Amino acid sequence: MDLLSVYKEVDALESEIIETRRDFHRYAESAWTEFRTTSKIVEFLTAQGMKVAYGRQVINPEYAWAWPGVEAAKKQQQRAIEQGASAELVENMQYYTGAVTVIETGRPGPVIALRFDIDCNDVEESKEDFHRPYKEGFCSVNANMTHACGHDGHSAVGMFTAALLNKHKDELCGTIKLLFQPAEEGDRGAVAMIKTGILDDVDVVLSSHIFNSPNGEYGLAGTQTCLYATTKFDINITGKSAHAGFAPQTGNNAINAACVAVAGMQSFLQDGRGSGRLNIGTISGGSGRNVIAESCHLRAETRGSTTEVEQRLYKAAIDIVDGVCKAFGCSYTTEIKGICPTGNGDLDLAEKIAKAAAKIPDFKYTQTELAQTGGTDDFSCMMDAVREHGGKACYMALMTPLKAGHHNRSFDYDEGALKAGVKAFITVVDMLQKEYK
Amino acid sequence: MDLLSVYKEVDALESEIIETRRDFHRYAESAWTEFRTTSKIVEFLTAQGMKVAYGRQVINPEYAWAWPGVEAAKKQQQRAIEQGASAELVENMQYYTGAVTVIETGRPGPVIALRFDIDCNDVEESKEDFHRPYKEGFCSVNANMTHACGHDGHSAVGMFTAALLNKHKDELCGTIKLLFQPAEEGDRGAVAMIKTGILDDVDVVLSSHIFNSPNGEYGLAGTQTCLYATTKFDINITGKSAHAGFAPQTGNNAINAACVAVAGMQSFLQDGRGSGRLNIGTISGGSGRNVIAESCHLRAETRGSTTEVEQRLYKAAIDIVDGVCKAFGCSYTTEIKGICPTGNGDLDLAEKIAKAAAKIPDFKYTQTELAQTGGTDDFSCMMDAVREHGGKACYMALMTPLKAGHHNRSFDYDEGALKAGVKAFITVVDMLQKEYK
Amino acid sequence: MDLLSVYKEVDALESEIIETRRDFHRYAESAWTEFRTTSKIVEFLTAQGMKVAYGRQVINPEYAWAWPGVEAAKKQQQRAIEQGASAELVENMQYYTGAVTVIETGRPGPVIALRFDIDCNDVEESKEDFHRPYKEGFCSVNANMTHACGHDGHSAVGMFTAALLNKHKDELCGTIKLLFQPAEEGDRGAVAMIKTGILDDVDVVLSSHIFNSPNGEYGLAGTQTCLYATTKFDINITGKSAHAGFAPQTGNNAINAACVAVAGMQSFLQDGRGSGRLNIGTISGGSGRNVIAESCHLRAETRGSTTEVEQRLYKAAIDIVDGVCKAFGCSYTTEIKGICPTGNGDLDLAEKIAKAAAKIPDFKYTQTELAQTGGTDDFSCMMDAVREHGGKACYMALMTPLKAGHHNRSFDYDEGALKAGVKAFITVVDMLQKEYK
Amino acid sequence: MDLLSVYKEVDALESEIIETRRDFHRYAESAWTEFRTTSKIVEFLTAQGMKVAYGRQVINPEYAWAWPGVEAAKKQQQRAIEQGASAELVENMQYYTGAVTVIETGRPGPVIALRFDIDCNDVEESKEDFHRPYKEGFCSVNANMTHACGHDGHSAVGMFTAALLNKHKDELCGTIKLLFQPAEEGDRGAVAMIKTGILDDVDVVLSSHIFNSPNGEYGLAGTQTCLYATTKFDINITGKSAHAGFAPQTGNNAINAACVAVAGMQSFLQDGRGSGRLNIGTISGGSGRNVIAESCHLRAETRGSTTEVEQRLYKAAIDIVDGVCKAFGCSYTTEIKGICPTGNGDLDLAEKIAKAAAKIPDFKYTQTELAQTGGTDDFSCMMDAVREHGGKACYMALMTPLKAGHHNRSFDYDEGALKAGVKAFITVVDMLQKEYK
């Protein structure tokens, strides 16, 4: 491809890219409920003349961790249709979200997979004047759903990357798969896509994520080890209810047990081998004020800069729940809702990407390292899956100034980086294909 | 009245009393949502030719603590109508529940108030075969609503007591007010009725409650000091959300703060002056698994055998929340949802009641004392209100074998005591009127 | 006996009684280390011409719970001798403390045992001007040892009761055993005396304890159920040390485990069946600031108004230690240091005592009930031991104004009650003997 | 110097070096009590004809953090003399420990300071057969004192480095100061030496520490940022005592407050900016089993890979103590016992050291980086002090196989590295002097 010429095409599309991102931002959809987002992506790609598989076709339900169920899906489908999704497409989805389009050039060449995540966070968006999405009118209209991790931009980047690669199909070789993955939050969607076999023949898998640029300029970092390992899990504690006044001793207080366990599990965060995280994201227990609580439910996650650090924390969390529950006469169950290894990119690939991207005018800098920040991305699973059969993988950090941290209700970013993101994917595809020859 | 003859009338009504109780049990309604129950009571009393005030007429909304609001009321009204409430009556209620009927004899005599509570507990009823209401088909059809404190029986006793007193109106003197009070659970409804002025001219106020009979026989206990003091309160902790992986240190974890506070507040339960209770009935916090929780909400209560014991516990609970929240960088608010003093009956009245009730054949024993058991009842407020202007008050324990403790999901009682309860009220009214003369 | 005449003798001895009490107060000795106290008692009784058994002769070492060992005993013997104990007597004690004298009248009559406890508390006495023992110069000179429970007075009462009964021996019948018991604090000494067989032939066993007089006047209460059940126990948690900076994850933190367990065990204090107590009296753990603590030692006790309440708390405390230790990778051991049942006196005896004591001029009131206050006394074990073979028992409360609560570092009492205490014992002995005839 | 020839001299001294180390190991002395160690060092250096300042002469008492006081010093001096210290030298020390010797060559050249720490850990040494010091008879004879951090070896290395540099004095230029620093554990002794002015004219300051060699071979690492920041602090919680049975509500339980605070402060360990440590090294509270604890004392430390991480943890620990104490009605005080910044060596100096040391035959590898491991060393303060006036500093890791981690009761190391350590100091001094010319 004539990259400089393509860059100009991207620049000409900038306002459309930004519009797309803002539309997704406005109609933010939580993990596994991205019916409108999927519908819009499918409509867009189809309009480009591309063939798209979507919904149930691109998901292996057996691995759809923490999928909310048919009833919840129906309710969200209804909402999505009211917010502009195509009723026909939504029905075809069969309760699952996500989309895949494949560009077959017919010419020998590498099989490259580009992955874009599309879901939002379970956070209520800021409604304060300093928050640009609110001030400029594209704040999320969906309660407790906010694009606070940039997946709105990732989706837009993916769509226009797909359109442009398709447009220049004749200048390309090999196969390019574009995966629009649902449910990255919670590390739940990647394996469900992998288990359809979509990556089985892939030589190189790439994804990018928006990160803060410390110096305020756009940049690109190919990365080697920036992603933490994680386990997402639920804990259900079951005690016994009783009248809180008459006979508290006959009850087994599930809330008290949970609180002692949560306080106790913080003692295991120190580890000389690396850095760990433990979060009780939600807690919910009890039925009435004057009833000893019969149950308490926790949604939790552990993270670690190495899998051993993460697994020690996970085990300690379960152990303290086990010990405390026994003492309180409660029982408990745990349920794994997602697991990710540490994410390791290939250094040689990262170096090639940095070199290629250095020629993109938008970027003021490129680099091959990004410090571990505690983040996880189930793209780790895709990287492992491709490497298992000898492929290569790299996670690319798209550096752009952030207004507030990831997952914060006031998260926002400089959208000028989006067109740079499109250019980066196209440039790297071009580089990989040239290298193949 | 010819009591022996009235007792026979009561015996003849037993199956109706039990049917009524089971109907209420099946359609159990939580505090402030007793639209169907109120409707049924109003219809029954009206059918006896009695005049009934109900809903908004018998409630002072200013004191309707923890009233769930118009939206919730509308939803529950709809449910109630679907379950057989009169749509017209429900509309007249103007979102509030409860009923009052007054028997004016026109003859000089005491003003006596009899109070019956009508709401259920926020508990999911047992669906196990050993649970009679389930096995015999009158288990609650409403999710998380169960008559696990006997108010279904109290309501039925009240209705038939009213009917019979009305039938024998010509043999009575003075005035008899029958109060069907909503929202006893949570100690929320009594003051809302008191503040309408309904008790201002009352000489004697009485209520009864079903208690377990240790020896398996029916009995009646007039009681002096069996009710604990209590405060019902909510605690709302507000922290700051953050990405649990990237920057946990920038968040203020409301769930962790809540858990440390809940664990910490258990240290204040010992008191040489009396017995105390502290219950965190419900906990709910956080928005997403990978987000530092921004908020956590607790519904709590303290109780005490004396008000000083109860107030020390309440203060300690708030103090530890205050201290821990400061340390965690969180703020908090507390909201009082109900307050009750200790419930003190008049011993002389209790003795007269025991003596009069001893003649009721159903009762194998009567007594004038009942050990404090940790229970509270906002009838305490009614007792204080009547005593404030020189009246007398007594809380009567209707002793009958229980299958499981109060507020337990398998709570059930021997219904044979219900007709004894009706007789008790009639007998005591008769005694009070005779004494007046 | 001519009681009025004996009362005058007691009045004449008042300043000596008080001097004796103050001497004991000044040289307060902890449980099992009462070498000087024992020496002084033996010298006094011997000077009255009485025969005294003491030390090892009156203690069954097998049951000397929490006895500190020979090394500690030697050190305390040395201290006692320096503070005026007889070196010869101390040597004869063979490391054990306590004394028994028996008045054999040679005439048929009841065998009566009077028990006086002699040890102090492990508390540092107040050195503030408002504290009379400090201001008037009889403050304890022994570090962390204070007579903060009145046993100094009990000892003095016992000595002068013995002297006077011995003086009037010819007017008495039967046998009177006077037991000066060590190690009441911690409920450790009574069983060690019982197991020598000293109570095997006893018909009536009596003890008294100083309590606060609410109305500021002297009084005597025979009591029926005032003593709680208790278990005294130690918990030793063993973890694994590690460098707190390099490798905290390789350690098992015994202090953190202890703290989580202690916070957690407070959740079990509520019981509808009665009142409970749980106290972690001392904690001690860790070796150095920068070392993960390898061990933590707790000295604890549970109490209950009934044995079932107490035992539930004890079991819950062990259970939470068990559960938390497992989670923290720690092991633990527990050691029982003393056990006492609830203390039940005989009501008929209490009534007789109250009637007899009502004639003592010092007392403004007598009564047969004393509310349970959470106190324990291993006299409970003596009461049970005597009752086991058909005897009677009563615990007498000597009511006198207190300056601060029991075990408080500023505990002090109105010494005027001491002579009343002597009179009470003599009066009751007289009553019991007269009744025998 | 002819380094190869000097290396041979070192090799010939190996058994003496090891003997010296084992002697110090056997008579391990805690921070500020190294009277015997100081005496031995002074005697040895004096025997070499060197002038030595020691004790009070080399310590500024104003900065002797956590110095145990004159009484404790006297007791330890007595012990030291019994264990072979010179009574005269000990007296001259005037209660303080440590020694300094200065080699003045009289020739122009750099002022180099070499620092060796001499104190042991407050840990009870392993008495198990697998523990070589125990098996081979040089296990510590002092209770709760163990060389579990290698300072016995550091001291021996320092003594022989001093002897050899002194022997080759004529081949050297400039000034070489050898500092034998007490009380490194707890980060307490360095500032007390600095504040005597001893480093004011120093151009280069060096120290070394024994670290584990992952590959089992000897090595040397010049290091840039391996030391954490730390604060050592005590927390004293004061409550109010009360009888645990009678009136627990009148007490303010200092142990319960401490436990809730310790459990609560673990919630602040996560930080996206770096790694932190929090350790409650010791806890001690309460006076008696049946007394509500009046006080509880904690010895604590925080550490961080950056000062901001460390300070956040420190502040959070104090904040939770503050909040919990308020709630429990307790007061508290905190006392800083030592503060250290992060330790940053000069990279250029580290590189030169690595290069020079690579020629020492004992070392199989040298490097210029050492991962942060959570360790602290108050040598950080010396590095900062020298750099403040333009000097250079480096902390050298002497890599040798360890049997167990630092501060573990079974800590032991391969002593073959000791002679390598002597060679390293001599080699680096030689390099610095040659470079100067």
Confidence bin at C437 (pLDDT 50/70/90): low
User: Domains of chain A (ranges plus CATH)?
Assistant: 3-227+343-436 (3.40.630.10), 229-339 (3.30.70.360)
Amino acid letter, B177:
K
Q: Give yes or no for a contact between D267 and A264, defined as CB atoms under 8 angstroms apart.
A: no
| ipTM summary value | 0.80
Mean pLDDT, all residues of chain B: 94
Look up residue A220 and give its DSSP letter: E
Point out the residue among C241, C250, C407 whose CB comes nearest to the CB of D123: C241
Look up residue A56 and give its DSSP letter: G
Confidence bin at D374 (pLDDT 50/70/90): confident
Q: How confident is the model over C332-373, as pLDDT tens digits?
A: 999 999 888 888 889 899 999 999 999 999 999 998 877 767
Residue A198 C-beta-side C-alpha neighbours within 13 Å? 31
C285 contacts in chain D (CB < 8 Å)? 282-284
**Which residues lie across from A298 on neighbouring strands?**
A235, A283
Give the other-Cβ count within 10 Å of C322's Cβ: 16
* 3-class SS string, B68-135: CCHHHHHHHHHHHHHCCCCHHHHHHHCCCCCEEEEEECCCCCCEEEEEEECCEECCCCCCCCCCHHHH
Most B CBs within 10 Å: which of C270, C277, C306, C407, as the mutation test of the B interface?
Answer: C270
Res. D225: pLDDT tops 70? no
Give A380 to chain D, closest Cα distance, Å: 20
Look up residue B413 and give its DSSP letter: B
Give the CA distances from residue B2 to residues A424, B148, B278, in Å, rounded to whole numbers and listed in that order.
Answer: 98, 35, 48
Q: How confident is the model over A263-296, as pLDDT tens digits?
A: 999 999 999 888 999 999 999 999 889 889 999 9
A283 and chain B in contact, CB less than 8 A: yes
Q: Three-state SS for A231? A: strand
Q: How confident is the model over C246-303, as pLDDT tens digits?
A: 889 999 999 999 999 999 999 999 998 889 999 999 999 999 898 999 999 999 999 9
Pairwise CA distance, residues C282 & D255, whole Å: 8
A245 contacts in chain B (CB < 8 Å)? 228, 230, 277, 303, 373-376
Q: For residue D222, what pLDDT is reported?
A: 75
C407 contacts in chain B (CB < 8 Å)? none
Q: How confident is the model over D119-155, as pLDDT tens digits?
A: 999 989 999 999 999 999 999 999 999 999 999 999 9
Which of B283-287, C170-174, C228-232, D219-223 comes out lowest in average pLDDT? D219-223
Our measurement of the distance from residue C248's CA atom to the centroid of its chain's CA atoms, rounded to an integer in Å, reads 44
- B314 → chain D, closest CA residue: D327
Look up residue A393 and give its DSSP letter: E
**Which residues lie across from B100 on neighbouring strands?**
B53, B179
Q: For residue B225, what pLDDT is reported?
A: 65
* 3-class SS string, D82-125: HCCCCHHHHHHHCCCCCEEEEEECCCCCCEEEEEEECCEECCCC
Confidence bin at C47 (pLDDT 50/70/90): very high
Pairwise CA distance, residues A171 & A183, whole Å: 33
Confidence bin at C406 (pLDDT 50/70/90): confident
Amino acid letter, C87:
A
CB contact under 8 A, B289 and A300: yes
Q: How confident is the model over A299-338, as pLDDT tens digits?
A: 999 999 999 999 999 999 999 999 999 999 999 999 999 8
Confidence bin at C135 (pLDDT 50/70/90): very high
A409 and chain B in contact, CB less than 8 A: yes
Nearest by Cα to B252 from B286, B289, B300: B286
CB pairs under 8 A between C and D: 228
Residue D196 C-beta-side C-alpha neighbours within 13 Å? 20
pLDDT above 90: percentage of residues in chain B? 85
Pairwise CA distance, residues D105 & A141, whole Å: 80
Q: Kindly state the tokens that stand for B190.
A: 């009594």
Res. B437: pLDDT tops 70? no
Look up residue D150 and give its DSSP letter: S
Nearest by Cα to A211 from A369, A342, A10: A369
Q: Give yes or no for a contact between B272 and C374, defined as CB atoms under 8 angstroms apart.
A: yes
Res. A197: pLDDT tops 70? yes
Q: How confident is the model over C51-68, as pLDDT tens digits?
A: 999 999 999 999 998 899
Q: Which residues 234-263 on chain B approach chain C with CB closer than 8 angstroms?
A: 263
CB contact under 8 A, D290 and C337: no
Side by side, the strands of the sheet bearing A219-223 are: A52-54, A99-104, A175-181, A111-117, A204-212, A392-400, A219-223, A365-367
Pairwise CA distance, residues C409 & C52, whole Å: 33
CB contact under 8 A, B324 and D324: yes
Average pLDDT of C148-175?
97
Point out the residue among D309, D312, D327 whose CB comes nearest to the CB of B323: D327
D273 contacts in chain A (CB < 8 Å)? none
CB contact under 8 A, B241 and A296: no
H/E run at residue B320: helix B307-328
CB contact under 8 A, B242 and A409: no
Res. A224: pLDDT tops 70? no
Give B407 to chain C, closest Cα distance, Å: 14
Point out the residue among B267, B272, B275 whose CB comes nearest to the CB of C373: B272
Cα dihedral D163, D168, D173, D174, rounded to 10, equals 10
Task: Return the exposure string of B331-359: e unless at least 16 CB atoms fall within 10 Å of the residue's CB, then b.
Answer: ebebeebbbbbbbbbbeebbebbbebbee
- D299 → chain C, closest CA residue: C289
Nearest by Cα to A288 from B407, D434, B171, D293: B407
**Which residues lie across from A180 on neighbouring strands?**
A99, A116
H/E run at residue D54: strand D52-54
Q: For residue D33, what pLDDT is reported?
A: 98
Most B CBs within 10 Å: which of D240, D259, D267, as the mutation test of the B interface?
Answer: D267
C301 and chain D in contact, CB less than 8 A: yes
Give the CA distances from residue B8 to residues A16, B2, B11, B13, B218, in Å, rounded to whole numbers and listed in that order.
Answer: 86, 10, 5, 9, 18
CB pairs under 8 A between A and B: 226
Q: For residue C288, what pLDDT is reported?
A: 86
Res. C11: pLDDT tops 90? yes
Q: Which chains touch A (3 or more CB pairs under 8 A)?
A: B, C, D
Nearest by Cα to C266 from A237, A328, A331: A328
Our measurement of the distance from residue B28's CA atom to the centroid of its chain's CA atoms, rounded to an integer in Å, reads 13
Pairwise CA distance, residues A306 & D332, whole Å: 39
CB contact under 8 A, D287 and C282: yes
Average pLDDT of D336-355?
90
A291 and chain C in contact, CB less than 8 A: no
Pairwise CA distance, residues B296 & A283, whole Å: 8
Pairwise CA distance, residues D11 & D15, whole Å: 9
- D186 φ/ψ sector (left φ>0, alpha ψ -120 to 50, else beta): left
Pairwise CA distance, residues C223 & D15, whole Å: 78
Confidence bin at B277 (pLDDT 50/70/90): very high
Q: Give yes or no for a contact between D7 and D427, defined as CB atoms under 8 angstroms apart.
A: no
Q: For residue A437, what pLDDT is reported?
A: 65
Res. B253: pLDDT tops 70? yes
Q: Which chains touch B (3 or more CB pairs under 8 A)?
A: A, C, D
Average pLDDT of B165-177?
97
Higher pLDDT, A372 or C118: C118
D264 contacts in chain A (CB < 8 Å)? 263
pLDDT above 90: percentage of residues in chain C? 85
Average pLDDT of D271-299?
94
Q: Give yes or no for a contact between B242 and B290, defined as CB atoms under 8 angstroms apart.
A: no
Alpha helices in D124-247 (DSSP H): 132-135, 151-167, 189-194
pLDDT above 70: percentage of residues in chain A? 99
Amino acid letter, C191:
V
CB contact under 8 A, A276 and D267: no
- B259 → chain D, closest CA residue: D264
A374 contacts in chain D (CB < 8 Å)? 272
CB contact under 8 A, C269 and B266: yes
Point out the residue among D247, D250, D267 whose CB comes nearest to the CB of B253: D267
Res. D334: pLDDT tops 90? yes
CB contact under 8 A, A270 and C248: yes
Mean pLDDT, all residues of chain C: 94
Cα dihedral D85, D86, D89, D95, rounded to 10, equals 40
Which sign does the torsion angle of CA C326, C329, C330, C332 carry? positive
B286 contacts in chain A (CB < 8 Å)? 280-283, 299
Average pLDDT of A404-423?
93
Pairwise CA distance, residues A251 & B374, whole Å: 14
- C407 → chain D, closest CA residue: D243
A248 contacts in chain B (CB < 8 Å)? 277, 279, 374
Q: Give yes or no for a contact between D96 and D55, defined as CB atoms under 8 angstroms apart.
A: yes
Res. D227: pLDDT tops 90? no
* 3-class SS string, chain C: CCHHHHHHHHHHCHHHHHHHHHHHHHCCCECCCCHHHHHHHHHHHHHCCCCEEEHHHHCCHHHCCCCCCHHHHHHHHHHHHHCCCCHHHHHHHCCCCCEEEEEECCCCCCEEEEEEECCEECCCCCCCCCCHHHHCCCCCCCCCCECCCCHHHHHHHHHHHHHHHHHCHHHCCCEEEEEEECCCCCCCHHHHHHCCCCCCCCCEEEEEEEEECCCCCCEEEEECCCECEEEEEEEEEECECCECCCCHHHCECHHHHHHHHHHHHHHHCCCCCCCEEEEEEEEEECCCCCECCCEEEEEEEEEECCHHHHHHHHHHHHHHHHHHHHHHCCEEEEEEEEEECCECCCHHHHHHHHHHHCCCCCCCEEECCCCCCCCCCCHHHHHHHHHHCCCEEEEEEEEECECCCCCCCCCCECCHHHHHHHHHHHHHHHHHHHHHC
Look up residue A287 and give its DSSP letter: S
Pairwise CA distance, residues C27 & C23, whole Å: 6
Point out the residue among C263, C270, C276 whose CB comes nearest to the CB of B263: C263
Look up residue D364 and give its DSSP letter: S
CB contact under 8 A, A290 and B245: no
A373 and chain D in contact, CB less than 8 A: yes
Confidence bin at C408 (pLDDT 50/70/90): confident
Q: For residue A225, what pLDDT is reported?
A: 65
Side by side, the strands of the sheet bearing C331-340 are: C331-340, C229-238, C295-304, C276-285, D276-285, D295-304, D229-238, D331-340
B389 and chain D in contact, CB less than 8 A: no
CB contact under 8 A, A320 and C325: no
C276 and chain B in contact, CB less than 8 A: yes
Point out the residue among C243, C245, C280 whose CB comes nearest to the CB of D255: C280
Confidence bin at C224 (pLDDT 50/70/90): low
> What DSSP string describes D239-264?
-B--BTTT-GGGSB-HHHHHHHHHHH
B57 and chain C in contact, CB less than 8 A: no
